[in-house]
Each structure stands twice: as C-alpha cells, then as structure tokens.
A and B are shown apart, each in its own frame.
Chain A
Amino acid sequence: MEMEESLKPLSMESRGHKGAAPIKAIKVKTVNRETIIIQLTMLILAVATIYGFLTFDYKDVVIGEAFLKSLDSLKTMLLEPHLQHVGFGEAIYQVFVTMGLGFLTTLFGAVIALFLGLLAARNLSTPFASALIRGVVAFIRAVPTVLWVLIFSVAAGLGSVAAVIGMTFHSVGYLIKAYSEAFEELDKGVIEALRASGANWWQIVFQAVLPSCATYLISWTFLRFEINFSVAVAMGAAAGAGGIGYDMFMASGFYYEMREVGAITYFILAIAILLEMFALRIKRNMKTH
C-alpha cells in the first residue's frame, strides 16, 4: 500500500516526460503549458463529438438494423463481386481513363507548380512574391476539389476538361508547397557562389537548383499521382468526369447493384495498392538519399 502511494507521484511526473529528452527531463512540475493544451484539445474534441452525436439529423434510421444491413451489403459486395452492366474489358479501359485523368492532372499541376514553386521558395524569390503565392495556395487548398470541378464545369461543361482543370488546382497547391520546400533545402552557399560568379537567375535555376532537387521533385510528383488517382475516382462519381468512378456511381446509385460495386471496388483497390507499394518504395529511396 505504501509502495503504491509512493509510486503515484512518479507516474504522474512521467506523463510530462518526453521520449528523447536529456537526463534532466523528469519534470518536477506536472502541469505545464504543453500538457494543458493537449488535455484541452482532447476535451474539446470529446465534447464536440458527444454534442455532435446528440444533435445529428438521424432521419428515423434504426441504427442497429441499418448497420446490419450495411454489413450484409458489404458482404455481398466483397464476397460475390460480379460485373453486370460493364464488361471486363470495358472496366479495365475505364480504370485507364481514370488513370489518364490522374496523369494529366499531375502533369499540368507539376509544370505550373515548378514555376510557381521557384517563385515561392524564399531563397530564390522576393519576400513579396513568395508571400503572395503562399497566400493564394492557402486559399486554393481551402476550396474542396469537387467544388473546383463543379465551378469549372459551368464554363466547360461536365466532362474531362472541367475535371482535369478543377483537379489541377489542388495539385498545384500541394506541389508548390512540396517543391518550394525542396528548393529551400538547397545549400545557401551554392546560390551565393553562382551569383558571385555572375550567373543570372535562370542559370542558377537550371544549373544548380533543378539538377540537385530532381529526385525529390519526381518523388513528390509521383506521390501526388497516387492521390490524384483516388481523387479522379471520386470526381468520376460526383462530377461526371467519367472513368471507373462514374461506373461505380451508376452501379450503386442507379442500378442498385451491390455485386457490381464490389467488382469495381476490387479494380480500384488493386490499382490503389499497387500505387501505394510503388510510392512506399519511392519514399524509402527519398530517405536514403
């Protein structure tokens, strides 16, 4: 009993203790700013969650029954996949259409982001241009992709043009951030040396900056392609962009055919897992470089 009581304050202290700290790190003060903020954040999230559950618009859904029904349809979906309205070859073709949408988006995004990323990097640009681009990127990222696509489809009509241009916005935002961070990691001395030798901005960019960051740029671009593939699936479903996402939307929302949804899900899953494995390998390469 005594033993336990004497241990208690110790365990309280170790709560504030961080893994990789020096020996002095067993903090005597148990309550500091950091722990207060952590606990406050958790409390707010918990309260918001409970408040949310109390106020949601349930629309007379019997939760248990609906849950069992979903499990049942999930079972049908995953265990009895069967293509009905789309042929096997057609489904493969549509997967490639979706990949094509993702690819075009990534390509356009990469080209635009390369230039804007150079202007957003603090070491290669003026503070004003860098701050301006960062502000615009924050705004672009705050508008959900589907809204970009729908806004563009008013001007261009529903289809691949609106989808690619709308999705490009987010890719540009994401890649500018990634690229400019890669540019900023470049050794300051290299740029200074080139500048001292009389090289102009373009020469610095093409002879020093781009060659030394090329691996990073390609890795980030591929990671974005992985994201763009799943975005393209979603846009096919929500914004009529075509591809396998549209077929899935038709199978579930129009034909109510669970087994077809299952088969299409397997197609998407296969590609997504392949891309993820590839991306993991690339990430590992990035760490060793």
Chain B
Amino acid sequence: MQADFFAKRRRNSLVFFALLLLVTLVSIFITEYDVKKGFTSIPKAITWSFSNFYPNEQSWAKLPDILGKLQETVLISIASASVASLFALLFAIFGSETTGINGFMRKVTRMIATLFRNIDVSAWAMILLFSFGQSALTGYFALFFGSFGFLTRAFTETIDEVSSSSVEALQATGASYFSIIFQSVIPSCIPQMISWVLFMIETNIRSATLIGILTGTGIGFAFSLYYKNLNYHTASLVVLVVVIAILIIENVSNYIRREIL
C-alpha cells in the first residue's frame, strides 16, 4: 500500500511538472520570448541604471513641476476612491446576502460590479479618452469605474461577514430596514470599509501612473514625456517621487489600519 502511495505521488508530481514544462515552452514560443536575452538583459539593465538612471542637477530644477503633477495624481486617486466608495456602499447594501432587498436586485448589482471590476482601468482610460481628451477627468473616471467594481465586491463581503447576526437580531425587535442599515450595518462595517478605501487609494496611485502614460495626464505623462525625450535623469526623479509618495501613503494607511481594526 505504502509503496503504491509514494509511486502515485511521484507519478502525480511528474505529470504536474511535465505539464508545467509544456505550457512554459508553448508560452515561450507564442510570446516570442528570447530566453537568453531575458537573462542577459538583467545585468545590462542594472549597469545602465547606475550610469544613467539617477537624478542630476538639471533634473532637480524640474522638481516643482513634477510635484505639481504628483499632487494632481494623488488627489485624483483619493477623489475617485472616495466617491466610488459611496456608490459601492449603496450597491453593496443591495447586493449583500443579509441586507439585499430581493434575489433579483442582488443578482443585478453583483453582475454590474463584476462587469466593472473585470474591465481593466487601462481599457476604461482608452474608452474615456475619446470624449474627455487629455483632461484630469479621463483618469478620474477610469479610476472611478475600476474602484467602484472592486469596492462593491469588497464591501459586499464585509457586510456579509460582519453583520448577519446583528441584522437578524434587529429584525426580530421590529426595527425598520433603514434603521437596521444606519444603526447597525454601516457602523459595524465602517473600520473594514475604510481599510478597503485606503487600499484602493494605494492601488489607484499605481494605476494612475499607467493611465497617465496612456492618456497623457498627471505624473504618468511627466514620466513618459521625459522618458521619450531620453531625459532619463529627470525620468528617474519622477520614479523616485512616485516611490516616496506611495511609501508614505502605505505607511499612513497601515497606521490608520492598526488603530481602527
């Protein structure tokens, strides 16, 4: 019996690794990935970064301009996550198992959230670029739709987890639907929800860089402008500023999370 067990396990892992190898080879073939170049490009990139990719004196002169762009990007990220959280709260209440009005509404709201979540922010950016052009609103709405989809799912799960017993208890006392929502569901979920909104803001700043490159707005635009002009010193300053901003926001939200959860 035991020999059988080990032989079976060995066979299983053999099949698994063979399958993995096959998929890898197919992937390398169809993506035209050059394995040798992949390995050699890493040391090449490192030596290049050390000789070219650092801020020099000229680039520091651009700092005020870059900080202005950064401010806009951070504000867009915060605004989109905050406004999206209000809409997401509404949808989550209708979509949750415990607070949803009926099965039909629940399904519809969940479907809308799935749709919004799975259309990538880059796709939203390109769609919105048609009508909003290179204004801050393109980035704002792209992030808004992405945040809305994600937060609806996160909030729905939070409400399901946190409040099922208290909703039942309040229903038994004869409390009205709205007093259940406002007196029990929202207050007990709010720390979790704020934690999700903070997470969304962090994610949004990263995505905002990508959207900026695609649509020509904010800090992403600053980077691609210097990058395409081969002004790598200033481009590296942009990266540095983004990194510092993200680290600060991450630390602040970690602090808030520790305090409220």
- Which residues of A are at the interface with B, using a C-beta cutoff of 8 A? 11, 14-15, 17-19, 33-34, 37-38, 41-42, 45-46, 48-49, 51-53, 55-59, 61, 63, 66-67, 69-70, 73-74, 77, 93, 96-97, 99-101, 103-104, 107, 138-139, 142-147, 150-152, 154-156, 159-162, 164-165, 230, 233-234, 237-238, 242-243, 245, 248-249, 252-253, 256, 258, 261, 265, 268-269, 272-273, 276
Contacts and interface: CB of A to CB of B under 8 A. Distances in A.
B126 A14 contact: no
Given A45-B82, A52-B78, A238-B210, 5 more contacts: A104-B31, A146-B210, A155-B45, A237-B122, A276-B118
B23 to A, nearest CB: 6
Contacts of B260: 34, 37-38, 41
B114 A160 contact: no
A147 B45 CA distance: 13
Interface of B: 20, 23-24, 26-28, 30-34, 37-38, 41-42, 44-45, 48-49, 53, 72, 75-76, 78-79, 81-83, 114-115, 118-123, 126-137, 140-141, 162-163, 165-166, 183-184, 187-188, 190-191, 194, 197-198, 206-207, 209-210, 213-214, 217, 220, 223-224, 227, 232, 239, 242-243, 246-247, 250, 256, 259-260
Contacts of B121: 234
A268 B118 CA distance: 8
B66 to A, nearest CB: 14
Contacts of A146: 209-210, 213, 220
Nearest to A19: B188
Given A56-B140, A253-B126, A165 B41 contact: yes
B27 A104 contact: yes
Contact of B214 (A19, A154, A237, A276): A237
Nearest to B136: A56
Contacts of A143: 239, 242-243
Contacts of B33: 100, 104, 160-161, 164
Nearest to B40: A156
A101 B129 CA distance: 26
Nearest to B224: A150
A160 B48 CA distance: 19
Given A100-B31, A261-B127, A107 B24 contact: yes
B49 A59 contact: no
B75 A51 contact: yes
Contacts of B166: 19
Given A73-B130, A104-B24, A258-B130, A238 B45 contact: no
Chain B binding surface, main DSSP class: helix
Given A41-B256, A55-B72, A63 B122 contact: no
A162 B127 CA distance: 26
A101 B165 CA distance: 45
B123 A161 contact: no
Contacts of A249: 126, 214
A253 B187 contact: no
Given A96-B30, A156-B37, A265 B119 contact: yes
Contacts of B163: 19
Contacts of B31: 97, 100-101, 104, 160, 164, 242-243
Contacts of B24: 103-104, 107
Contacts of B250: 138, 142
Contact of B78 (A45, A100, A154): A45
Contacts of A160: 31-34
B201 to A, nearest CB: 8
B213 A104 contact: no
Contacts of B184: 14
Contacts of A258: 127, 130
A234 B133 CA distance: 19
Nearest to B47: A155
